[in-house]
Structure 1
């Protein structure tokens, strides 16, 4: 069976889905052409908390759909939170972790704007505050990030982690978030960045992004 990649699309209580993020831009097709088995499901819409999404994806990881070997997990934008939490809670299922276009979680102005958007779309104040709470990333403690790269002996070295920045950066995906992740996880490697796939300027970057993801997953 080909190596498996689980793609978790970005968004936060909005209309973003896997079609918009991974299928439409040609990323899934490109990775499959590179010989990878790709699963790119839709996230839970309007989740009441991160735990709901972790439970949903945790069931997928343990179902056997992705094969018996640990998968390469790619979290995009706000789904970097989902990816990190899955890596913490299901360590045996994750072989590699890629945090792509990580959403900035510790900027008060950005968080205030995100909170207004969540309330306008129908989230309660408690749900909005729960989703936005965190440190470098929403819904994640910096201690959890540090734990991912810890060396646990020759039988279980630190998890290979890649960080892929938004280029150019923007208020929701700031360069300083990438720098913070690299400081917290010194063994992490920075990969060539690009605009996020839903952006209109992503198209020319698709082939390089696919090559970067395939190489990280071991099919480059």
Structure 2
């Protein structure tokens, strides 16, 4: 039985949707061109906590016969990890791409201000940003991911919201995890404007090789 790939887009609190992250950037089409079955649902736009996102995406995940490979992006890495922990018999591979930096006071303060400015209640903003290496995830929970294949894909170049130290901390915390070739985050102009070779081609091949 072939595996299903679940794409969990980045953003937080009305900042992004699945089509803008995976669709218009060409990633979904690139993956399906390799014959992969791809699910790319929208995350809840105004979650009061991470549990809301896990409940919504978990309903879709539970319907899959398995195995499922999850690709989490930026703040979507939190949802991806929590789903993998909740469905240990269904998820057998996890790719954490451009993980959002959670253990940085300056990054969290910028994110908090942005969330509140977009209408997120202050208490909910604080709760969404709480955690360790990843927001919404305790560092000790990461050790449970050792049972599956895990890879981390860095933002290259790094930026204040997606710092290299987060990639290094995840690789240290998840035994057996490995680093894949990095690139800019898909929604950014740098990604869209390509590269040599084009970032889209590189990213699609990297994901395909990992999930297969």
Question: Could you state the TM-score of these two structures normalised by the residue count of structure 1?
Answer: 0.92
Q: What runs of 5+ residues in structure 1 fail to find an aligned partner?
A: 150-157
Deviations 1:19-65 (A, max 9, x none): 1110101101111011100010110011010000000111111123x
Query: Residue 14 of structure 1: CA displacement?
Result: 2.7
Preserved CA contact (<8 Å) 2:2 2:67? no
Preserved CA contact (<8 Å) 1:165 1:191? yes
Q: Which residue of 2 aligns with 1:121?
A: 118
Q: Which residue of 2 aligns with 1:85?
A: 82
In structure 1, what is the Cα distance between the partners aligned to 2:15 and 2:156? 23
In structure 2, what is the Cα distance between the partners aligned to 1:127 and 1:94? 29
Question: Could you state the TM-score of these two structures normalised by the residue count of structure 2?
Answer: 0.95
Q: Which residue of 2 aligns with 1:48?
A: 48
Q: Which residue of 2 aligns with 1:154?
A: none
Q: Which residue of 1 aligns with 2:209?
A: 215
Q: 2:71 aligned with 1:74, yes or no?
A: yes
How many pairs align? Answer: 207
In structure 2, what is the Cα distance between the partners aligned to 1:63 and 1:5? 13
Q: What runs of 5+ residues in structure 2 fail to find an aligned partner?
A: none
In structure 2, what is the Cα distance between the partners aligned to 1:44 and 1:136? 22
What pairs up with 1:1-220 in 2 under 5 angstroms? 2-64=2-64, 68-149=65-146, 158-203=147-192, 204=194, 205-218=199-212
Give the 3-state SS of the residue equivalent to 1:163 in structure 2.
strand
Give the aligned CA root-mean-square deviation in angstroms: 1.0
Preserved CA contact (<8 Å) 1:164 1:191? yes
